[in-house]
Homo-oligomer: A and B are copies of this chain.
Amino acid sequence: MSLHAEMLAVGQASLEASRRLAVLGSRRKNAILEAMAEAVETSRKAIAEANAGDVQAARAAGMAPALVDRLTLTDKRIDAMIAGIREVAALKDPVGHKISRWIRPNGLEIVKRRVPIGVIAIIYESRPNVTADTAALCIKTSNAVILRGGKEAINSNRAIADAMAEGGRKGGLPENAIQLIRTTDREAVRELVRLDGIVDMVIPRGGESLIRAVVENATVPVLKHYKGICATYVDESADVEMALRIVENAKCQRPGTCNATETLLVHEAAAKEFLPRMAAALMARGVELRGDAAARAVVADMKAATDRDWDTEFLDMVLAVGVVPSLEAAIAHINRHGSHHSDAIITESENAARRFCAEIDSAAVYVNASTRFTDGGEFGMGAEIGISTDKLHARGPMGLEELTTYKYVVTGNGQVRT
């Protein structure tokens, strides 16, 4: 069978499964999720062994320690995976929800009802817990899911998917509702993302080159979870103590995440007071500061920022620091260099806050809070499948609702159009 025929068969099996999933009730789906959690529990030894094989191979191939860490499934991480499935089961099911309802003058009743999307393909790298998380979120929302993990985690992913499918079967999950692509052939992704009419959505999660490859090849709609070049702007009216606390948190609390602040902009009127204290605090935490000329005129022991620094997602203890003459200049900088993910203003001026929030074209805009809050859990969504940097369908943290679409159910008593 050609790779094309193979992926087509996978897609069609998912499509079949999605029809059966669409009519499952919440109680049945929750029972299935519980059976899946139990099956992962029962298979934890097999999962750990498969993962040990992946980790060993990755080390032998010289994978960077940070990536090996992401790949590794400790006992605690397997526990978290199991708990995660149960947490998804406990969430409210958005499927079937009546979004709105109205009656037309001719008597037609129109109900806009939330329904599953259908078939979702997730293409991801490295962390094998994504396999369990995304499968649980998709099943909860009655979507069939096709999982394509990274080569480096293939054995871990297989073991997890096998356990979940086995548990699902016991709970009454339709066959092929969860499918893992078992070949590591890169061309499989290309085939998968061209199954429009069968696969309804592709979510690539990973590095820039993975996302770019999916976007270039896809004919299926793509929802991107792209990089986060987030900025915090300290306005002239900022409360300096608050600004120090927020900037330190936004940069240091977990620098490897997409919602960590990578760029600090300071109004020139605040620079003299704020920058030296900020530099002392961040340098004490081990942050490397890269400043523009105006910032370095205030704090001499910063490295000079290069042009590229403003467009870079450091994912590390590095911060680009710029001094701007005005709110407008800060807004223009962020809209131009940022990735439209999460940006904050620290200000005591209501007017500046309003303008910042209106003019910054990002998924989340913050007033006097850390950019680190952009997260499904922190937003109260209960779980997230990622953070969309797209503007269509879903923007920002994607929870269960964002894994659904809607249909119009129109009921009449013989109405015809005239």
Contact = CB atoms under 8 A, between A and B. Distances in A.
Interface in A237-251: 239, 242, 245-246, 248-250
Nearest to A346: B414
Contact of A365 (B365, B410, B416): B410
Contacts of A414: 239, 242, 245-246, 368-369
A380 interface: yes
Given A221-B392, A407-B365, A335 B19 contact: yes
A246 B417 CA distance: 9
A201 interface: yes
Interface string A369-402: 1101110001110000000001111011000000
Contacts of A395: 405-408
A391 B200 contact: yes
Interface stretch (A75-83, A312-320, A354-362): A354-362
A216 to B, nearest CB: 6
A16 B259 CA distance: 26
Interface stretch (A102-110, A124-132, A161-169, A299-307): A102-110
A36 interface: no
A102 to B, nearest CB: 7
A323 interface: no
Given A367-B411, A414-B245, A392 B201 contact: yes
Contacts of A353: 411
Contacts of A367: 409-412
The contact size tier of chain A is 35 or more
A23 interface: yes
Contact of A378 (B104, B239, B361, B411): B104
Contacts of A391: 117-118, 200-201, 221, 405
Identical copies in the complex: 2
Nearest to A354: B409
Contact residues of A: prevailing secondary structure: mixed
A379 B412 CA distance: 13
Contacts of A215: 196, 219
A22 interface: yes
Contacts of A253: 416-418
A243 to B, nearest CB: 9
B242 A365 contact: no
Interface string A3-22: 00000000000000001001
A179 to B, nearest CB: 19
A366 B117 contact: no
A411 B353 CA distance: 9
Contacts of A222: 221
Contacts of A392: 117, 200-201, 221, 223, 392-393, 405
A209 interface: no
A332 B361 CA distance: 44
A118 B410 CA distance: 32
A135 interface: no
A413 interface: yes
A75 B218 CA distance: 44
A382 to B, nearest CB: 13
Given A104-B378, A221-B222, A392-B201, A359 B22 contact: yes
Contacts of A117: 391-392
Nearest to A257: B417
A380 B118 contact: no
Contacts of A405: 391-392, 395
27 contacts: A22-B359, A22-B361, A104-B380, A108-B373, A110-B380, A117-B392, A118-B361, A118-B391, A200-B391, A201-B392, A221-B221, A221-B390, A221-B392, A239-B414, A245-B414, A249-B416, A357-B409, A366-B412, A369-B411, A369-B413, A369-B415, A373-B410, A373-B415, A378-B417, A392-B393, A395-B406, A396-B407
Leading 4 A-B pairs by shortest Cβ distance: A369-B412, A249-B416, A372-B417, A392-B393
